[in-house]
Amino acid sequence: MAVAACKQLPAYQARPLLAEALPQPGASVRVCVLRALLPLLDDPRDVLRDALLDASRGVRGVACWAAPRSGLDAAAILADRLQGEMPVTKRGWLGILGLADELKVELDMHWLEKALRSGYPTVRESAVLQLRDGHLSLLFEMLEEPSDRVFSASVERLGKQPWSSLKELDSKLSQRWHALPAARREAILGLLPAWQQLAFLLARLGEETDLQAFWLRQLALWCDRQHLMVDPVTPRIERAAAAEQVMQLAAQGLLSIEKVQRIL
């Protein structure tokens, strides 16, 4: 409402009021203020430099649109900022990581590693989403994250990797299955090709014979979650072996035939 009121004032009165409002914490407020303020400034470059590194994607979006019209190069501003000290605040980190992401600039590893150790989950999440394909070991490490949003970002990023590069997940799941919350182990298992998910569960059933009821329950739940078995990588012979095993379980009455029919 105050921004709207400023638009009815003469420019010399509105400028200081809008400038005062620009640092307010609400991102939606800063977007409105920036849009109202820019046309009133003789030289908006200082304001735009700050806005390009704002924590809010909306504010950065307005600044990226306006920067070329004022002769500013957003990539040059980011490069200059990366020559300075690393930020210590959440907003500082989100501004740098956000602008780098929008400009498709690959940050040096020492910046990303520092961000991944940040005390702020939102900063770690942003850093995870910028890890490149060659950083699989870091992505695997981030699956141990206490923050659910950072864990989810790691799963999202790993989900874009070739299945052939995710073989390490099998041993990680074997070691950690019982310690992981159900939602997390299902998310990690879901990164594997469908028939390899089934093979993993069958292998655990064969190895942990004292927990047969538990693993049969996991197999039944897994079958219930399947709608379409999309898996172009698992060899036909491995699929046939897994299919034969579940058919044997059904024949022994350990797994219902209805569940088996969902996947065969």
Q: What is the mean pLDDT of residues 69-82?
A: 96
Q: What is the pLDDT of residue 36?
A: 94
Q: What is the mean pLDDT of residues 13-40?
A: 92
Neighbours of 232 (CB within 10 A): 7
Q: What is the mean pLDDT of residues 185-207?
A: 95
Q: What is the pLDDT of residue 262?
A: 84
Which two three-digit tokens encode residue 197? 């998910």
CA 74/CA 50 separation, integer angstroms: 11
Is the pLDDT confidence value at 239 over 90? yes
Count Cβ atoms within 10 A of the Cβ of residue 72 and give its class: 0-12 exposed, 13-18 middle, 19 or more buried: middle
Q: What is the mean pLDDT of residues 31-53?
A: 95
Q: What is the pLDDT of residue 25?
A: 85
Is the pLDDT confidence value at 134 over 90? no
Q: What is the pLDDT of residue 151?
A: 96
Q: What is the mean pLDDT of the chain?
A: 93
On the CB side of 245, how many CA atoms lie within 13 Å of its CA?
18
Q: What is the pLDDT of residue 99?
A: 97
User: What letter would DSSP give residue 192?
Assistant: S
Q: What is the pLDDT of residue 133?
A: 82
Which two three-digit tokens encode residue 73? 């190069």
Q: What is the mean pLDDT of residues 142-157?
A: 94
Q: Residues near 239 by Cβ (< 8 Å), separated by ≥ 6? A: 195, 231
Of 25 and 14, which is predicted with more confidence? 14
Is the pLDDT confidence value at 259 over 90? no
Q: What is the pLDDT of residue 7?
A: 87
DSSP H helical ranges for 83-120: 90-102, 109-116
